[in-house]
Structure 1
Amino acid sequence: MAAKSCQENLDLITMFRQLINNNTAQDWVYALLAASAFMLLLHILRRLVLHHLERVAKTTDTVIDDFLVEVLSATRILLVAATGVYLGTHFLTLPAALEKFVDRAFITLIILQAGFWANRGLMFWLKHRFSQGEKEDEGARAMTLSLLSFLGRVVVWVLVLLLMLDNLGLNVTALVTSLGIGGIAVALAVQNILGDLFASLSIAIDKPFVIGDFVIVDDLMGSVEHVGLKTTRIRSLGGEQIIFSNNDLLKSRIRNYKRMQERRAVFAIAVTYDTPAKKLEQIAALIQQAIEAQADARFDRAHFKSFGQSSLDFEAVYYVLKPDYNVFMDVQQAINLQLVRRLAEHDIKFAFPTQTLYLNRSPSQVKTEDPVAAKVE
């Protein structure tokens, strides 16, 4: 190991001596001037082009000029400097090994810069693609944008890394093959994480719920705040945050109340047993009138349902035309208040739990009992 390190040091020293001996002071001056001039020229050119495109983008409605502005703004100063140095080296006589290294290093920087351009362009396209649509779909677009942005960046930078390694002389095919074999073992070890990852993709594509939806999962409920690669976070009515695993969440029965178009409501009232039959016949109509008086309600039915233990029971069904729960409660409150007034006008009384006790005594029992006690009873 030590001998190999010494040999590498000697090779570097030899290469450096060849670089000094093969080039005069004039060559170095030309190289420095050329590198500086190219850096300055490229920097000015980048600024002018970017400024022109920004001015054009403000006066047009097309997306192409905005796209070009976004991509060119991702140009790193490192690329400008590397381009100037690379062009400057052409005024020098380089050793073969060093010349090969400079070429590979420059191409590697070009690939890296292409990765920055591709990443910025992809983000611009995704934001533009998912910024259009109805306001009620904003939660779905935000969720899909977040997941696709992450996956897109992963794909872009994996390709950039493979191209850079291939340019540096590594056998990418063998590397990918070895990673594939090792990936099987890793996948078995992290299968739960991968299950959540694929579940997040299923949520993004199928959209059983989106950010902002009010959902109930088993006995837990709340508004969806964030859908990540592994977990989904829900803000409960109590204020605490509930975190679900994506994989477990898709296996559950989810009730999405945000997708309701209208809300079905069932309610019952009970009147006393001494209510005359003629008045009983009017109760269903009174209920219907109370429901139809509400602008956000649609009457369905009202019936004398059953004979209860201490009441005569009526059941009514109606639909609230808006899914909002507060609207539902406002409508139900208005119906209840109107029924209280209308039943009072018709002298119909609401029932409450009562029991009637009937005592059946024989005459002999009454004679043998104490008269005072019987009178008190």
Structure 2
Amino acid sequence: MDYGFWSAVTQYYQLIETAFSYEHGYRVGVSIAIFLFFWLFRNKFTKYILYLLIKICNTKATTNEYLITAFRCPLVNTIVALGTYLALRNIFPLAYDRLLDQLLRSFIVLFMAHGIHRLVKLYGNNVEELGNLLDLNVDKILIPFFSKMIRFLILALAFVTICSNWGYDINGFIAGLGLGGLAFALAAKDLLANIFSGMVIIADRPFSIGDWIKTSDLEGTIEDINFRSTKIRTFEHALVTVPNSNLINAPIINFTKREMRRITFNLGVTYDTPSQALKKCIEKIQHMLVQHPSIDNKTIFVKFDSFGENGLHIFMYFFTKTTVWEEYLNIKQDVNFQILKILEEENVSIAFPRTSHYFETPLQIIDPAQSILTKK
């Protein structure tokens, strides 16, 4: 018992003696200096590394901006981690070198995966810039979908690499994922149905991001398409999330894909309109529509259609050359004003709903003064 006590005291004394020795103090001082050097000059090192990266890649200004935005923070963290690694390796015994090497490699993989993940996200949010980089006409519906898939793969590869670095058996992990995936597939068949429906939407491309669509349940503009659902912004500015499996089985009208927009209505004029005046109005309206620069003159119908309850009906059917909503409304307004002008030139009045009452016996008008005298 006494021997164990004095042995512990001796070891404790040796530990204190080592900790306060000149050699150990010197190594601690050098380690602190190494760490402070990397900490103070981390931004300088990052700036030079990014400069060399941009010079090697020789890319455009926007790409350079994306590289700086994506990799600045990961590079700063990597430099600090490297300084910490060198400082700790200078202090700790050789037995800890393997552990420190594994920590450094894990942090480098993690930080670089973070930078690549941010770069992919930046390009996924800017489809036009990605098209300029690849010199391709990319589809807005494909990029967000594949951007999310690539980012998921980056994180998965980083996780697998870090696990391999620490000696874990990845094959067993993958086999476990296979069995777990089978159980997950049975439990989440609706989720998988939505995912496969999303793939069908991407392959078939019935609509793209920004398109104006209409289904039996709702109408609005496509804002986002992901693995499980599609987000639609209605004209009331409400955001509706629709499962992909519902969309793939529903009839979809894509108004954005049309090349023209239709205008059709019945114009009613009064029954006292002379036939010649009615005929001239029809001819002038037809001529006006044919000459209008914003009206497609391939399909124009202006016809005396029917005898309505309140007037004579002129049927009009034509198309505008634009599909933009505001431009369409402006063209429609201009056409309406020109139709009013034609009717005024021909002295033709627009019919409006009215009701006529007929009495079997004529109405008698009674003088109020005479009625009072009669009562007296």
Q: TM-score, normalised by structure 1?
A: 0.69
CA deviation after TM superposition for structure 1 residue 255, in Å: 2.2
**8 A Cα contact 2:43 2:76, kept in partner:** no
CA deviation after TM superposition for structure 1 residue 140, in Å: 6.7
1:35 matches 2:31: yes
**8 A Cα contact 1:30 1:91, kept in partner:** no
**8 A Cα contact 1:79 1:113, kept in partner:** no
> Partners in 2 of 1:316 and 1:266 — Cα distance?
5
CA deviation after TM superposition for structure 1 residue 181, in Å: 1.6
CA deviation after TM superposition for structure 1 residue 33, in Å: 3.6
> Partners in 2 of 1:195 and 1:144 — Cα distance?
19
- Give 1:54-133 correspondences, 5 Å limit: 61=60, 66=65, 69=68, 70-77=70-77, 80-81=80-81, 83-86=83-86, 88-89=88-89, 92-95=92-95, 98-126=96-124, 130-131=128-129
> Partners in 2 of 1:375 and 1:296 — Cα distance?
56
Q: SS of the counterpart of 1:49?
A: helix
CA deviation after TM superposition for structure 1 residue 63, in Å: 6.3
> Partners in 1 of 2:38 and 2:233 — Cα distance?
51
Q: SS of the counterpart of 1:131?
A: helix
> Partners in 1 of 2:276 and 2:117 — Cα distance?
78
CA deviation after TM superposition for structure 1 residue 173, in Å: 0.4
Correspondent of 2:240 among 242, 249, 257: 242
> Partners in 2 of 1:235 and 1:258 — Cα distance?
15
> Partners in 2 of 1:351 and 1:68 — Cα distance?
68
Tell me which amino acid in the other structure corresponds to 1:286: K
**8 A Cα contact 2:39 2:83, kept in partner:** no
Q: TM-score, normalised by structure 2?
A: 0.69
**8 A Cα contact 1:225 1:234, kept in partner:** yes
CA deviation after TM superposition for structure 1 residue 353, in Å: 7.7
**8 A Cα contact 1:39 1:81, kept in partner:** no
Tell me which amino acid in the other structure corresponds to 2:46: L
Q: SS of the counterpart of 2:247?
A: helix
- Give 1:1-377 correspondences, 5 Å limit: 25=21, 28-44=24-40, 46-52=42-48, 61=60, 66=65, 69=68, 70-77=70-77, 80-81=80-81, 83-86=83-86, 88-89=88-89, 92-95=92-95, 98-126=96-124, 130-131=128-129, 141=140, 146-201=144-199, 203=201, 208-270=206-268, 278-279=276-277, 281-292=279-290, 294-299=292-297, 300-304=299-303, 306-308=305-307, 313-346=313-346, 348=348
**8 A Cα contact 2:285 2:302, kept in partner:** no
Higher mean alpha-carbon deviation, 162-171 vs 252-261, is at: 252-261
Tell me which amino acid in the other structure corresponds to 1:106: L
CA deviation after TM superposition for structure 1 residue 176, in Å: 0.4
> Partners in 2 of 1:329 and 1:116 — Cα distance?
48
Query: What percent identity do the matched residue pairs reach?
Result: 21
Tell me which amino acid in the other structure corresponds to 1:301: I
**8 A Cα contact 1:302 1:315, kept in partner:** yes
Deviations 1:249-273 (CA, angstroms, capped at 9, x unpaired): 2332222333443212223335567
Aligned-residue RMSD, C-alpha: 4.4
CA deviation after TM superposition for structure 1 residue 343, in Å: 3.7
**8 A Cα contact 1:307 1:313, kept in partner:** yes
Consecutive unaligned residues in structure 1, runs of 5 or more: 1-12, 357-372
Alpha-carbon distance change, 350 to 45 in structure 1, aligned in 2, over 3 angstroms: closer
Q: SS of the counterpart of 2:323?
A: coil
Q: SS of the counterpart of 1:74?
A: helix
> Partners in 2 of 1:333 and 1:85 — Cα distance?
73
> Partners in 2 of 1:321 and 1:80 — Cα distance?
61
Alpha-carbon distance change, 233 to 126 in structure 1, aligned in 2, over 3 angstroms: closer
Alpha-carbon distance change, 71 to 292 in structure 1, aligned in 2, over 3 angstroms: same
Consecutive unaligned residues in structure 2, runs of 5 or more: 1-7, 133-137, 364-376
CA deviation after TM superposition for structure 1 residue 324, in Å: 2.8
> Partners in 2 of 1:52 and 1:79 — Cα distance?
12
Q: SS of the counterpart of 1:73?
A: helix
**8 A Cα contact 1:287 1:302, kept in partner:** no
CA deviation after TM superposition for structure 1 residue 112, in Å: 2.1
**8 A Cα contact 1:262 1:320, kept in partner:** yes
